[in-house]
Amino acid sequence: MNKLFLRLFVSVFVLISAVSFAQNVHNGVNLYEVKAGKFDNGKMWTFDNPPLEYFKQTYGFTPSKEWLDHARMSALKFATYCSASFVSEDGLVMTNHHCGRENVTKVAKDGENLAENGFYASTLAEERKVPDLFVDQLVQIIDVTKEVQAEIDKAKDEEERINLRDRKIEQLEKYWSEKTGNIAQVVSFYSGGQYSVYIYKRYDDVRLVFAPENQAGYFGGDYDNFTYPRYNLDVTYFRVYENGKPLKTEFYFKWSKNGADSGEVIFVVGNPASTGRLKSTAELEYMRDYMYPKYLELLSKAIVYQKMAIENSSSPAEKQEAEDNYFSMMNSLKVVSGIVKGLNDPVLMARKKDFEKTFWSKIESNSKLKEKYGYLKNEIKETVKELLSESKKSTGNPFNPPENVRKIQNSLDAKNILLGRALYEVYGNSIPPDATFTLRLADGVISSYEYNGTIAPVFTTFYGIYDRYYGFRKQHPFNLPERWKNPPPEFRLETPFNFISTNDIIGGNSGSPVINKDGEIVGLAFDGNIESLPSDFIYTTEANRMIAVDSRGLTEAVKNLYKATKLYEELINGKIPE
């Protein structure tokens, strides 16, 4: 009887162990053995704390202060949603077509369809001022961490902590705005581990110079969005004016005549909008299990109504606005779906948990840090647990919750301020802060990746756009504008058109200049592949790729397809041709 019981016990133990092991193995990977990657938190470096030693060791290149200052002053924030840059001494601005699309529509005259036909001003007199459009240039960065944190430390509870922080930020922005005569924005990094004042010079006389047809800028539509290979002329050029004349500036990126090659180090200079890479795994799981699914449900319903709005449009302008809104919604649907897929990837989440485990072990091993922050580990988990419970009881928009849910969220935000301090005390600037729609420098290399059982071409060419055009029988969204259908013989189809690289980008980076070690334009960032979508919470290099328009493709199209000779000469020479 005892032997029978022992055999039964052993069998049950083996079965339980096998099930337990199976639950912790994903695609042959033992989740217990998964470790966080060195750059899981990304490569979006701030300009006041660039990792110079890392650049030197990795690329044999150390950007000088002059290089960094020139890049910072040549880059721009495009309105409140994209990035851009100066590309000539005469204030010529380059950004993405999908960033400038609504602004192109604003300057259309009666009877014009610029969305369908594109636009080119061959003279300064023909350039059209865009109402309400502005670009911001980052001219100064000031560390105000001590001032803000000293004010926060006066708080007696969580609510007061947030109120004191917000009041101090408002005071600092007012002070620095009045002192400099420019726009001052206090930026919180590491959820409160560091604070800086960013001083911006704003230019609000911005005029349209060149825009391709929608079908060239957004070729492939939503089907090709966040995919690769790609074939998009996703570019629009504007010009900044000051006192009624084209701006004269020493800060602009020169054009690379040779572009970049496979394996070459390149840098993206832009304004990534938002990431959640330093969030606790408890909060990420809340977003995965409740917030994002609820958002997708609401978004899917809104898309149905937006389709109806397109069908019922009473004018070309109304239809264009409805289509722009639809494209934006479909873009969001793809993005959030990709994030959710990543959050449901056990391996990626295991990497996040390993980073968190290492972080808390560092806190626990330091008596001072443990006393200051040790309690946060469990408090954050309990607060998120309460947030999930109360959120599920509520209905409606997760981004506009009822008061009781908002209070719990505020409590979590207050705890995250302290968590951010703890992260900064442990890691300092060795890891970059989450994206905050402020200027960052992201390094990477031009590199292929495996997909669909094959490998992706590092570069695409203009030949590819015609392959898709004919392959899809010229049907929308793979149809071509008229001028593209029978290109002139001088238009070189073998020219590199789009390319991929490992640079770390996110929404907000659209329109970012891509430069080489010499600070020259080699491309224009416009998208990421489908594998890049989880980068909202974790950066990987295995298959995550930025997609950019090649500098050679940009000038080839402008010169030989659009016959915009003066624009071509300005790009190549960095100034308006005489």
* Confidence bin at 20 (pLDDT 50/70/90): very low
- What's the pLDDT tens digit per position in 404-453? 999 999 999 999 999 999 999 999 999 999 999 999 999 999 999 999 99
Residue 150 three-state SS: helix
pLDDT computed for residue 1 by the predictor:
47
Give the pLDDT confidence of 113-152 residue by residue, as tens digits: 999 999 999 999 999 999 999 999 999 999 999 999 999 9
Percent share of the chain, pLDDT over 70: 95
The two three-digit tokens of residue 345, written as one number: 């990837």
User: Phi and psi of 77, rounded to 5°?
Assistant: -95, 125
Nearest residue to 63 via CA among 72, 74, 52, 54? 52
Residue 112: per-residue pLDDT: 94
The contacts of residue 513 (CB under 8 Å, 6+ apart) are 74, 75, 83, 84, 85, 87, 94, 253, 268, 269, 270, 521, 523, 524, 525
* pLDDT the model gives residue 2: 59
What pLDDT does 465 receive? 99
- The two tokens of residue 433 are 């802060």
Residue written as tokens 């789009």? 498
List the one residue out of 190, 195, 235, 229 whose CA is nearest residue 211.
Answer: 235
Q: What is the pLDDT at residue 10?
A: 56
Q: Which two tokens stand for residue 481?
A: 């504008």
Q: What is the pLDDT of residues 509-521, one digit of tens each?
A: 999 999 999 999 9
Residue 400 pLDDT level (bands cut at 50, 70, 90): confident
- Give the pLDDT confidence of 197-244 residue by residue, as tens digits: 999 999 999 999 999 999 999 999 999 999 999 999 999 999 999 999
**Residue at token pair 């409140």:** 80
CA distance to 12, 16, 478, 526, per residue, from 7 (Å)? 9, 14, 66, 63
Residue 397 to residue 295: CA distance in whole angstroms: 7
Task: Look at 17-31, 89-103, 350-364 and tell me which has the smallest mean pLDDT.
Answer: 17-31
Question: How far is Cα 99 from Cα 113, in angstroms, rounded to an integer?
Answer: 18
- Angle of CA points 518, 524, 526, to nearest 5°: 145
* 77's tokens: 């924030």
Mean pLDDT of the chain: 95
Tell me, what amino acid is at 235?
Answer: V
Confidence of residue 6 (pLDDT cuts 50, 70, 90): low
Q: Is 241 helix (H, G, I), strand (E, B) or coil?
A: strand
Please name which of 367, 373, 384, 43 lies closest in space to residue 193, comparing C-alpha atoms. 373
DSSP 254-280: EEPSS---TT-EEEEEE------TTS-
Distance CA 419, CA 237 (A): 42
Encode pLDDT of 51-81 as tens digits: 999 999 999 999 999 999 999 999 999 999 9
Instruction: State yes or no: pLDDT of 367 exceeds 50.
Output: yes
Residue 12: pLDDT band (50, 70, 90) is: low
pLDDT of residue 95: 99
Of how many residues is the chain composed? 578
Encode pLDDT of 236-281 as tens digits: 999 999 999 999 999 999 999 899 999 999 999 999 999 999 999 9
Q: What is the pLDDT of residue 569?
A: 99
Is a pLDDT exceeding 50 seen at residue 300?
yes
> Residue for token digits 């998208």?
527
State the residue for tokens 């592949």: 529
